[in-house]
Amino acid sequence: MAQIGARFRGWKACVWRKSNQPAIAEAVFDLDKRSQLFSGAEQIILPITEISDDDESPIGFGFENGTGETSLQECFDHLAGSAQMRLAIQWFNSLAEARAKERLIREHAYRRISELAVPLKLAALSIDDFDRHILKIGGLVYSNGIPAEENFLPGISASELRAMFQEGKIHTVGNCTWGFGTATIRAAFARAGVKDDAVIQEKLQFALRELQNDACLFESESTEFSPIPYTALAQSGDGAFDDSASRQVDCHERQITPGTQAAGLETAFKHTVENYVVFTRFARQVQSMYGLHDLAEVDAFFSHYVDLSPEERERILELFGKEGPIITILNPPYPLTQCTQETGVDEATLARWVRAIHRKGRPSSMARPARARPTSPKSWRST
Amino acid sequence: MPKLAPPLSKIFIDWDEAEWAFDFLRETLDRLGIDNPDDPRFALTLQDGGRTLRLNMGNWLVQDFYASNLHRVGWRVALDLIHDQLVPGMSQSLEHLPRATFPATV
């Protein structure tokens, strides 16, 4: 219980506080009020609270690209357990120094994003700040604002980089990631009580449009965005990691064509947000399957790998692929349909449980007791 | 003991049981670091048509008290426990819960 208390020590309110029964709560602490409540001496109105699962439903993950092509989710599902992915993880695991350094950079980037990704602060950001701190491809800059010439300072070791961070000589810009920045923004909206996916998107788009009016960055370009088809990701093997695949999920690397701006922007932003969400789900899957420490490490892996040239990637895959992937998948995907067949629990219920576990971070289950026959309440109190 | 009044009589069999449950709630809240009913981090809610009294903390279910006719298998109390964090002796004590069952640890 103390651990649970510690977990929620910093919370401002229980999510069901509005349904709290103050009369019962007072009776827990005050024996006189307890007697009144138990005896019914005082007419206390106790409205029943029915908390439906819909009230708690998190943001959905559905994604349709609207073109009839393979969806990003399907592509990622295919990619997660592929031989190419296992070889790439195998290669990444062999790079202890680079792994530590990349993770360090992302931890700093995430901390920065979490400071900014609060709705009020977000609305106060200029489009340049929004772009620089949240949407831009990640990088390092020196404290005087000059970008590090080589994006992640390849000649610097992890310990040296840590010291530079601690001394305030450098800091991160951009989200250093494909997806977690915007996912964090969405989480911030959710914490603020906005749960509806469409509403969140609308607010994000509104924020972006408002910001544009300040800086006119996009207006000056007079462009609309054309989402790139997703067929590239459907390819197995090298195609899944090629440059076009990585660009699709990065707002900063958008394709731009002349035309009207407003509708195109909303479409592009919607696609970006959806891509981010789908990618985050994929990243969690990779983290679980390959035993990576956290999402920062997953992100470090992807960025490190995708930043390589196609020739370098090919060479690595050849080097590690001579005898086939030796890495073990710790938690292979276990489709709900299979679980339904093996347990008899319907898929909708399982999906609801999965959402609850993702939302709360732990399962809650019930079982019959080993021994549960009546004894006196006093015996419990006296133990 | 006088008869327990509704709506708590829907959940608890008698005054003694309700008294025990409220003491237990108090002890749980103490352990959670809650020392007054106005602390917004917790919520006590009535659900299942008034047949479940639930203690919520943050966005977690911490404790449930069920009416005797709510669950066919006879569940009466649900606790949220983290097995490594059990208070020494508590698991033994749980076996003496009156007319109660409790959940598996998580």
Give the distance, in angstroms, between the CA of residue A336 and the centroid of all CA atoms in the same chain. 21
Token pair in block for residue A150: 């080589």
Angle subtended by helix axes A262-290 and A197-215, to nearest 10: 120
Token pair in block for residue B73: 């298998």
Average of per-residue pLDDT across B60-82: 72
Higher pLDDT, B103 or B37: B37
Higher pLDDT, A337 or A194: A337
Higher pLDDT, A42 or A64: A42
Average of per-residue pLDDT across A86-115: 80
Chain B residues in contact with A20 (beta carbon < 8 A): 42-45
Please report the pLDDT score of residue A213 as a whole number: 37
Please report the pLDDT score of residue A3 as a whole number: 72
Q: Å from B41 to nearest chain A CA?
A: 4
Q: Are A197 and A276 in contact (CB under 8 A)?
A: no
| Per-residue pLDDT reduced to its tens digit, A191-224 | 556 656 566 555 555 544 443 333 333 333 333 3
Q: Å from B9 to nearest chain A CA?
A: 8
In a domain, B99, yes or no: no
Give the integer Cα–Cα distance in Å for B75 and A305: 52
Q: Are B77 and B63 in contact (CB under 8 A)?
A: yes
Three-state DSSP at B55 gives: strand
Residue % of chain B over a pLDDT of 70 = 69
Q: Å from A170 to nearest chain B CA?
A: 37
| C-beta atoms of A3 and B85 within 8 A | yes
Q: Which of A3, A21, A38, A46 would you mutate first to test chain B, the one with the most B CBs within 10 A?
A: A38
Average of per-residue pLDDT across A284-305: 79
Give the integer Cα–Cα distance in Å for A197 and A266: 14
- For residue B91, name the pLDDT band (cuts at 50, 70, 90): very low
Token pair in block for residue B32: 């959670």
In a domain, B83, yes or no: yes
Give the integer Cα–Cα distance in Å for B101 and A81: 41
Give the integer Cα–Cα distance in Å for A104 and A110: 10
- For residue A289, name the pLDDT band (cuts at 50, 70, 90): confident
- For residue B59, name the pLDDT band (cuts at 50, 70, 90): confident
Average pLDDT, chain A: 63
Number of domains in chain B: 1
| Whether pLDDT at A163 is above 80 | yes
- For residue A164, name the pLDDT band (cuts at 50, 70, 90): very high
ipTM of the complex: 0.79
Chain A residues in contact with B58 (beta carbon < 8 A): 7-8, 11, 14-15
Query: In chain B, whose CA is at the least distance from the CA of A381?
Result: B20
Please name the amino acid found at residue A94: S
Chain B residues in contact with A191 (beta carbon < 8 A): none
Average of per-residue pLDDT across A122-133: 57
In a domain, B2, yes or no: no
Q: Å from B40 to nearest chain A CA?
A: 5
Angle subtended by helix axes A72-80 and A262-290, to nearest 10: 20
DSSP string, A285-330: HHHHHHT-SSHHHHHHHHHHHHTS-HHHHHHHHHHHHTT---PPPS
| Whether pLDDT at B22 is above 90 | yes
Q: Are A178 and A250 in contact (CB under 8 A)?
A: yes
Stretch among A29-33, A157-161, A371-375 having the lowest mean pLDDT: A371-375
Please report the pLDDT score of residue A249 as a whole number: 31
The shortest CB-CB distance from A14 to any of B22, B23, B58 is to B58
| Per-residue pLDDT reduced to its tens digit, A242-266 | 333 233 333 333 333 333 334 444 4
Whether the link from the prior residue into B7 is cis, omega within 30° of 0, is yes
Stretch among A27-36, A227-236, A297-306 having the lowest mean pLDDT: A227-236
Higher pLDDT, A118 or A92: A92
Give the distance, in angstroms, between the CA of residue A234 and the centroid of all CA atoms in the same chain. 22
In a domain, B102, yes or no: no
Please report the pLDDT score of residue A200 as a whole number: 56
Give the integer Cα–Cα distance in Å for A43 and B5: 10
Please state the pTM of the whole predicted model: 0.43
Higher pLDDT, A115 or A166: A166
| C-beta atoms of A13 and B23 within 8 A | no
Give the integer Cα–Cα distance in Å for B75 and A63: 40
Residues forming a β-bridge with B61 = B56
**Stretch (H or E) spanning A171:** strand A170-173
Higher pLDDT, A147 or A238: A147
Angle subtended by helix axes A22-29 and A31-39, to nearest 10: 130
In a domain, B103, yes or no: no
| Whether pLDDT at A230 is above 70 | no
Domain carrying residue B23: 8-94
Selection from A203, A96, A212, A206 nearest residue A157 by Cα: A96
Stretch among A79-83, A324-328, A360-364 having the lowest mean pLDDT: A360-364
The shortest CB-CB distance from A28 to any of B37, B93, B94 is to B37
The shortest CB-CB distance from A383 to any of B46, B73, B93 is to B93
Selection from A114, A184, A106 nearest residue A152 by Cα: A106
| C-beta atoms of A383 and B96 within 8 A | yes
Output B53-56 pairs: Cβ under 8 A, ≥24 positions apart. Answer: B53/A24, B53/B8, B53/B11, B53/B21, B55/B25, B55/B28, B55/B29, B56/A14, B56/A15, B56/A16
| C-beta atoms of B15 and A363 within 8 A | no
Higher pLDDT, A231 or A303: A303
Please report the pLDDT score of residue A91 as a whole number: 84
Q: How far is CA A172 from CA A136, A143, A151, A379, in A?
A: 11, 10, 10, 60
| Whether pLDDT at B26 is above 90 | yes
**Stretch (H or E) spanning B23:** helix B15-32
- For residue A344, name the pLDDT band (cuts at 50, 70, 90): confident
| Whether pLDDT at A229 is above 60 | no
| Per-residue pLDDT reduced to its tens digit, A8-43 | 777 777 877 877 888 899 999 999 888 888 887 755
Please report the pLDDT score of residue A55 as a whole number: 36
